[in-house]
Amino acid sequence: MGEWKVLACAVALVAVLGVAGCGGQTSANAASGSADNAGTTAQSVLSIQSASESTTAAAAASGETVASAGSGVASSGVFTEAAELVAEAASLANAAGSDSGANANAAGADANAVASADAAAGAASVDAGAATADADASADADSASSQSSASSSADSATSNPATPPQDLIIDELGSTTSSKGYVYYGIRVTNPNDGYSAELPRLQATGQDEDGNILFTDTHTLRDVYPGESIYYGFRVGNGTVPSVVDLELSVGSGNWKQSNAKRDDLYSFDNLVDSGTQNGVNHFTGEITLNSDAVDAKKPAVTVIVRDEDGNVIYGVTAFLQSNLVVGVPASFDIEARDLPENASTFDVHAMPWSA
């Protein structure tokens, strides 16, 4: 009977070892699988460990029974070998559990890494979205600011008056001082503005002696100067005392700038111009003037003779006024007297500007 008990115990032990071997294989397979299989294997290992402990206890009890029966060294050796097999099976199970735990931890770490990467990507996406939103908001703000500035500029341009006109320019000037103390000037005045006409500009001449004392002040009022137009004028200033210096000032009253686009090019034409030469200190410039088209105050023009030296520089000027009305297309003769003409006079040219109706 004792031997049959030993055999029964050995059979039971082999069965236990077979289960442990399967558990070890299952554990090994689970170690290379997913975290879910690792968890299942861990549970199997725990069951195997519990079964192994129960078997070991049973084997120990049987060993004690056999020993007390005096079954001999051979029976005791069988149980000793079986106990070693049981211990090896438990060690395999523990190793499989450790591998499963490691795999589970690795899988968890991977999952955490993936989750962290996803979170980082999400945060980066949020940051990028926020940056894009900020950029869009900034662009919208800049666009709105530009539109607002453009609107403000347009409103300002609409509400503010036009740019103030530029001053008239004396772009040709020359003079001769006679032995009698008078100064003869020839000038050309140009209106540099587009859209503004200068009405009744005033020309003031102030003569001073060497000590700065004022000798005379003469004022001449000219006729209107249209936009972009140039007019010539000749005049005499002085009181019989030769001045050391003469200051010329050309001005337009603040209320005498008028918005205008009027033009009057080629209003007059001249023919048969003659310088009769000097006789008793007087020269006569004669010729014919024709009014080419009707215009305001054009029928009685002021006619100006500009005298130049051989280099073309203005050195003298004189203006006279026609006393009869011109008729469009009909030539009219004129005779302008010029006194104290300088000896270096070489050429002359004649100009006209509207003066009175």
Give, as one character, the DSSP assignment of residue 344.
T
DSSP element (H, E) containing 75:
helix 73-159
Contact 303, 334 (CB under 8 A): yes
Token representation of residue 230 = 């140039």
* pTM for the full predicted model: 0.56
- The sign one gets for the Cα dihedral 325, 329, 330, 333 is positive
* Phi-psi group of 195: left, alpha or beta (phi > 0 → left; psi -120 to 50 → alpha; rest → beta): left
Token pair 């690795």: residue: 106
Token representation of residue 296 = 């305001």
Per-residue model confidence (pLDDT) at position 343: 92
Residues of the chain with pLDDT under 70: 1-162, 357
Per-residue model confidence (pLDDT) at position 296: 80
Angle between helices 2-31 and 73-159 (to 10 degrees): 20
> Facing residues of 185 across strands?
175, 235
Tens of pLDDT, residues 243-281: 999 999 999 998 999 999 988 888 999 999 999 888 888
Angle (CA) 241 321 327, round 5°: 170
Look up residue 103 and give its amino acid. N
The span from the CA of 257 to the CA of 307, in Å, is 31
Q: If we measure between CA atoms, which residue out of 352, 348, 265 comes closest to residue 312?
A: 348
Per-residue model confidence (pLDDT) at position 357: 65
Residue 341 CB neighbour total at 10 angstroms? 23
Length, in residues, of the chain:
357
The span from the CA of 183 to the CA of 204, in Å, is 13
Cβ neighbours of residue 308 under 8 Å, at least 6 residues apart? 174, 314, 315, 345, 346, 347, 348, 349
Q: Are strands 257-259 and 196-198 parallel, antiparallel or unpaired?
A: antiparallel
Per-residue model confidence (pLDDT) at position 319: 97
Cβ neighbours of residue 320 under 8 Å, at least 6 residues apart? 302, 303, 334, 336, 337
Per-residue model confidence (pLDDT) at position 329: 96
| Boundaries of every domain in the chain | 2-121, 169-356
Per-residue model confidence (pLDDT) at position 45: 34
Per-residue model confidence (pLDDT) at position 265: 84
Per-residue model confidence (pLDDT) at position 162: 60
The span from the CA of 225 to the CA of 205, in Å, is 20
